[in-house]
Amino acid sequence: MREKLAKLINVKSIVTLVLTGVFAFLAIDGRIDIDNFVDMFQIILIFYFGTQSGKAEASASKSD
């Protein structure tokens, strides 16, 4: 359990969560358009999960 928590708390995860929170707040507050929020949120998620996927593929290829 601690190992999973340690992996979750890294710089990219923190940045992803903070950016998601900031953009959600700005969208709810009306400072940015919802369409802009959706675009930025998609970019953040694609970057985050793309790098996670790349790490998994790299570690799988090392074990072969």
DSSP string, 18-52: HHHHHHHHHHHHTSS-HHHHHHHHHHHHHHHHHHH
pLDDT at 51 over 60: yes
Residue 32: pLDDT band (50, 70, 90) is confident
- Does the pTM of the predicted model rise above 0.85? no
Q: What is the pLDDT of residue 64?
A: 57
10 vs 58: which has the higher pLDDT: 10
Angle subtended by helix axes 34-63 and 11-29, to nearest 10: 170
Nearest Cα neighbor of 16 from 45, 39, 38, 37 is 45
Under a CB-based contact definition with an 8 Å cutoff, are residues 35 and 23 in contact? no
